[in-house]
Each structure stands twice: as C-alpha cells, then as structure tokens.
Amino acid sequence: MSVRLHSSHASHVGRVRENNEDSLLDRPGLYAVADGMGGHAAGEIASQIAIQTLAAWFEISTVGETEMRDAFAAANARILENARLNRDREGMGTTLTALAFSGDLAVIGHVGDSRCYLVRDGAGKQLTRDHTVAAAYEEATGQRADPLWKSQLGNCLGAARGFHVKTDARVFPCVPGDVLVLCTDGIADYADAGDVARIARGVDSDRLAMALVEQALARGGHDNATAVVIEVE
C-alpha cells in the first residue's frame, strides 16, 4: 500500500547556545535530525555531513535496514575523515535519527540521543532508545542513573577513530493517521511521548514542530531545538 506523507519542521538555537549545531533533512520520503558536538563550530559541520551523506546515499539506494546501516557507516567515515584533515575539528561527532519510507513501511535508523516518537490514535510512543551512559546503566541494572550521566553519549557518529558505532535500524509499518516526530534532545529533554501526543491533539501537524520548539523554549531552552514532523495521510 502506498501512503501520502505530509511534513513540516522547525529549528531554534535555544536560549543558551550561541550556534545552532543541529541539522535536519525534510524531503519526500526521507527525514532526519542530527545534533552535532565539538568546538569551533565542528559540531555543526559534523551534523551537516551526516545529513548530506544520508541524503546522497538514498538517492542511489533502495530503502531497507541494511541500506540504512550502510548510510550511517558512510556518514561516520566521512566525519572521521573530515576531522583527520582538519585538526581543529578533531573529536567532532553527531547524533543521527532518520526515517526512510517505502510504501507503507518506514525504516528507522538511529544513533545517539535524538529521538523518534509515534503518535497513533491519540497515544504517544518512543520508537528509539537513547544511546547514553544513563540509559545503558538503567537498562542493565534497573536502577536510576546519576542525572549527570544523561548527557553522556555512549554511541554517536564520529568523535573518535576506532570507536565502534552501533546503528539501530528496524522496519516500522505505518497506517493512515500516524504522526511521527524526529527531534533532537533540546526538545526531547522537555517532551516525552506523552507530551508530544498531548501537544499533537491541540494543533495540526503543520504547527506541531514549532509547538514543540516553543515548549522547549518556554521550559528553559538549554540547547538547540529541532523537530521534523511527518504525517501519514
């Protein structure tokens, strides 16, 4: 079954940061957010490389789990190579969370602590798991992690040569009425799946991305805030 997709996006530097190191992709059938890290604007470069590599990959590739993992591996390699050639960018990295559609199936690719949420029949669900030290500790022990660990990534693109990148990828069947939200942690820190569903009930999909950014700003805006919203029509 083929579905129609309607998308919108919003991004804001936030109330604390000077630069917006987030990047996004919003084109028919392929969507992503990336949250870069690194000094001297290197984070912005890393996130842009990730988005550009993903976009180029799916111009010539079919949509599938293997292809998604290959695209993430290519982005990782390009970021590391750029850092090797530019010493002031050493250690730069980025998260990347992406959706690629084929018919009524979506392939989710994910590395880092950006998120993908689903709103279906008015209920929200988080489709990705955070690749943070805190999340890994809580999953392994069942105990609450130190809040300071929350921002420490255990998995990202780039950052260190020789570091093993593990890309989560899976196929997800969509149905008409689904709303999918990709967002960086500048939004996710202020909005869990329930918050996203609540806000989605009050605005149409064209306004949802901006409404999530506005909530993040109202609640502190400690980081860059970026969202891409996809409605399955």
User: In this predicted model, what pLDDT tens digit does every residue of 54-63 receive, in sequence order?
Assistant: 999 999 999 9
| Closest to 98 (Cα-Cα) out of 230, 222, 205 | 230
CA–chain centroid gap for 211, Å, is 17
Instruction: Indicate the residue type of 139.
Output: E
The helix or strand, by DSSP H or E, that contains position 84, with its residue range, turns out to be helix 65-85
Question: What is the reported pTM?
Answer: 0.95
pLDDT at residue 152 in the model: 84
Domain count, the chain: 1
pLDDT at residue 30 in the model: 98
pLDDT at residue 162 in the model: 60
CATH code assigned at 70: 3.60.40.10
